[in-house]
Structure 1
Amino acid sequence: MSRSMKSLRVAWYKKPILQDAFVTDIQTGAMITAVFSMVVSLFTIATAILDIYCLGMTKPGVTHYGYYIMSFQFVYVGNGNVRNTLIVFALFSAIAAVALFVTSCILLKALRKEIEKDMVPWLYASGIFFAWRTIAIIFASVVNDMIFGYHISMCLFWIAFIVFGALGWVIVYSLYLELSDLTKLEDLAHLRMGTMSSLNMTQSIAGSRPTTPHNTVSTAQIV
């Protein structure tokens, strides 16, 4: 086996995990994943701001005057360390959501132009984001009272978001590996074409010189 063919052998962990996105092709599935990530990031920013606001309004020992636009009975008011942890989860979730939104925009552009290198930031951002949100929603579901509709709905929403997010990550990663393999094949084809053209040029130059069977310049008189 030639050295160039050996270099094209792909390890099992670098092979595309999926060949299609179940109900559609893998490229369309990646586009849907990018849009889904943008929606989830905006939803996360909105709910994180709401959580920080509610936890701030219900801080023990703080007096508020005026009318409330909503009931705060569902908000956690127990241990201060737990409350601060909920605020940290909400704050970093908002920051991660901003990063996810930006990388999702980059991903859309990369998918249109089929530039696999521009998919890498989204793969890192989405992996960290959904892993962080998995820890956050587990913690929130444990410490909050799950008798309130808000906490129940957030738990169900995030279970669905995390499942679809993990599936979308696999789809985009599979497309990334597929495009990377195509790029390697194109680079090899260009290398071979360049090598063949160089050899042909060398042969044409050598063939234009009058030589004897002993590869010496012919000195025969031209009539």
Structure 2
Amino acid sequence: MYGRKTPSTYRSTPSVYSHYTGKSSTNLRSTKSVRSLRVPWYQKPILHDAYFLDLQRGSLLTACFSVFVALFTFGESIFDLYCLGMAAPGSVHYGYYVISFQFVYVGSAPVRNMLIVFALFSWLGSLAVLVTGVLLIVALRKEYEKKIVPWLYAFGIFISFRFFAFLFGAIVNDMIFAYNIIMTLAWILFCAVGAYGWLLVYSLYLELSDLTKLEDLAHLRMGTMASLNASLAGSRPTTPHSTVSTMPASQI
């Protein structure tokens, strides 16, 4: 009629707003799906090889290195506690001693107490790293990724603690004595190699975890398909064409 739009004309011009919102909602859903598939950065393998060795052999060498560092720290901590006890301010000793305690810090009491605390906790940490290092060697040989986790926590905390411990000792101790210089240089090397080795083992742990998830998913899919086939075979109806007739031919 006159002055009124026909239904065909009214529906032939879609709304710009509806077209825009539909497109934006589609993009929003696709963006959310892409974001949901992204793996966090800490769950991605940081290293893929160990330069001259593969990731597994590099991790095995790191495990042996951690056991060596644990034994070294065990002996060093006991020696430091012994020296700090023997060179306590005001203590008097008689007799002949093989070593001189001039390299031991005898200044401020709070600083000396901090050195004792660092040595004591280093001794305890070395025991934890020693036990978890042996477990790590066994786990790497049999590829048990769950047994790698204790070493990751123990060695990560230990190497971070030892970094601050040797840095504090390098600041307060006199660097004119050979023992202090050797220990400082040794722990610079130990911390650098230990941090790199920790990254190797962590990367291998992530790869083994991903492989385990894929294997579990494959087993789950195979089990689901097997149960589905069994249920379909059990619920399939029998037809006259599928059954074998035992009736004699003369009676048919």
* The two structures share one fold, judged by TM-score above 0.5: yes
Shift of 1:211: 4.4
In structure 2, the residue matched to 1:215 is none
Letter aligned with residue 210 of structure 1 = T
Partner deviation per Cα, 1:47-80 (whole Å, 9 max, x = no partner): 1111111111111111111111101111111111
In structure 2, what is the Cα distance between the partners aligned to 1:85 and 1:101? 24
Partner deviation per Cα, 1:124-158 (whole Å, 9 max, x = no partner): 00011011101101110111001111111111000
TM-score (normalised: structure 1): 0.89
Q: CA RMSD for the aligned pairs?
A: 2.2
Match of residue 67, structure 2, among 38, 43, 64:
38
In structure 2, the residue matched to 1:67 is 96
1:182-221 aligned at under 5 Å gives the runs 182-207=211-236, 209-211=237-239
In structure 2, what is the Cα distance between the partners aligned to 1:66 and 1:131? 40
Letter aligned with residue 238 of structure 2 = P
In structure 1, what is the Cα distance between the partners aligned to 2:151 and 2:36? 27
In structure 2, what is the Cα distance between the partners aligned to 1:7 and 1:193? 26
In structure 2, what is the Cα distance between the partners aligned to 1:50 and 1:195? 61
In structure 1, what is the Cα distance between the partners aligned to 2:110 and 2:39? 49
The alignment partner of 1:41 has SS state of helix
Larger radius of gyration: 2
The alignment partner of 1:184 has SS state of helix
In structure 1, what is the Cα distance between the partners aligned to 2:37 and 2:149? 21
In structure 2, the residue matched to 1:128 is 157
TM-score (normalised: structure 2): 0.79
The answer as to whether partners of 1:8 and 1:184 remain within 8 angstroms in 2 is no
The answer as to whether partners of 1:55 and 1:87 remain within 8 angstroms in 2 is yes
Partner deviation per Cα, 1:138-189 (whole Å, 9 max, x = no partner): 1101110011111111110000000000000000000000000000000000
* Count of aligned pairs between the two proteins: 212
Match of residue 128, structure 2, among 93, 99, 102:
99
Match of residue 171, structure 2, among 142, 146, 158:
142
Greater displacement, 77-86 / 123-132: 77-86
Shift of 1:8: 7.8
In structure 2, what is the Cα distance between the partners aligned to 1:187 and 1:108? 24
Shift of 1:7: 8.9
In structure 2, the residue matched to 1:57 is 86
In structure 2, the residue matched to 1:11 is 40
1:79-98 aligned at under 5 Å gives the runs 79-98=108-127
The answer as to whether partners of 1:21 and 1:29 remain within 8 angstroms in 2 is yes
Letter aligned with residue 42 of structure 1 = L
In structure 1, what is the Cα distance between the partners aligned to 2:221 and 2:89? 73
Shift of 1:206: 2.6
The alignment partner of 1:87 has SS state of helix
Higher relative contact order (CA 8 A, sep 6+): 1
In structure 2, what is the Cα distance between the partners aligned to 1:178 and 1:135? 31
Shift of 1:113: 1.0
